[in-house]
Amino acid sequence: MTVIEMKSGIIEEIQEWKEKRNAILLAHNYQLPEIQDIADVLGDSLQLARAAAETSADVIVFCGVHFMAETAAMLNPEKTVLLPDLEAGCSLADSITADQLRAWKAEHPGAVVVAYVNTTAEVKAESDYCCTSSNAVDIVRSIPEDKEILFLPDMFLGSFVQRETGRENMHIWMGECHVHAGIAPEHVEDVLTEHPEAELLVHPECGCSTSSMYLMSEGILPKDKTHILSTGNMLKHSKDSQADEFIVATEVGIIHQMQKQNPEKRFVPANRQAVCPFMKMITLEKVLDALKENKHVITVPADTAEKAKLSIERMISIG
């Protein structure tokens, strides 16, 4: 039996088990290509959170990382949420704990806490708003200007939001995603030299995002060809744009979907090494095992979920 035949057989079995269990398969844009191809909903963190909140399925199989499955579990306490690999974590979510956040809040009494969705349930429970890269600017703009803001945990996204909103009373936690932080300005410069006519798509978590904003403001990067976007908006922009070549500064997994949507266009990663090992842990075999053996059920303590739910609902409703 060939590899293609084996995969085809596993996919058929996954479809059968999905029907048996009334399950939905949610997958992030950074997943392996074969996982993206079988997903019922494929998207960024905000799109997947909304899909989890709206689904009528009994079982949610989350092909992403741990904090995403936690968010789905908090939105659906009556449903079964499965994460096919418990080791699928997130270096950014690990960069702040609930205890650290409580200590930070004590230093800034009365401040509004805006937490990126890449955080644990315990951190979300200590926050006033959650956000994703696609609505972080809208959420900060919705907060009264006289309110001090604690933004966490990603320093690159925080810097982008601060620059976009002009908020001077905004404090930023010094956390980072090790994959996005590894996409440096010199990577972008090198690829731009090789592809001078390409549009540049930059995720705001990237280590090159701050320099890209500065270079745009100085006229060194053309504003009409440089776009700082969430993964979901990168997909939309690359589909709608008249350009035929794009440099993509984010985790390379998204290029599979970009190429699939736009077979006539060319997509070049800013850094070919920008691969998240956690996002690549989930395989077809693990998805099948999850459905057959109920692996691995993700739950959140009721008191934590209750505290966190308001911040998550605010994230879903804005932007």
Helix (H, G, I), strand (E, B) or coil at 295: coil
Summarize the annotated binding site as residue ranges. Answer: 28, 45, 90, 116-118, 133, 177, 203-205, 231, 276
Q: Are 203 and 229 in contact (CB under 8 A)?
A: yes
CA–CA gap between residue 57 and residue 123 (Å, rounded): 27
CB 288 within 8 A of CB 14: yes
Q: Which residues of 216-241 are buried (b: 16+ CB within 10 A; e: fewer)?
A: beeeebeeebbbbbbbbbbbebbeee
67, 66, 58, 69: which is closest to 26 by C-alpha? 69
Q: Indicate the annotated binding residues for iminosuccinate.
A: 28, 45, 116-118, 133, 203-205, 231
Measured distance CA(184)–CA(271) in Å, rounded: 8
| d(C-alpha 102, C-alpha 267), whole Å | 42
Pairwise CA distance, residues 226 & 236, whole Å:
15
CA distances from residue 252 to 20, 264, 266 in whole angstroms, order as listed:
34, 19, 14
CB-based contact 268:250 (threshold 8 Å): no
Residue ranges of the binding site for [4Fe-4S] cluster? 90, 177, 276
Distance CA 163, CA 214 (A): 10
Measuring CA to CA, how many Å separate 201 from each of 63, 136, 190, 226, 245? 24, 18, 15, 6, 11
For every residue of 231-250, DSSP letters joined together read HHHHHHHHHH-S-SEEEEES
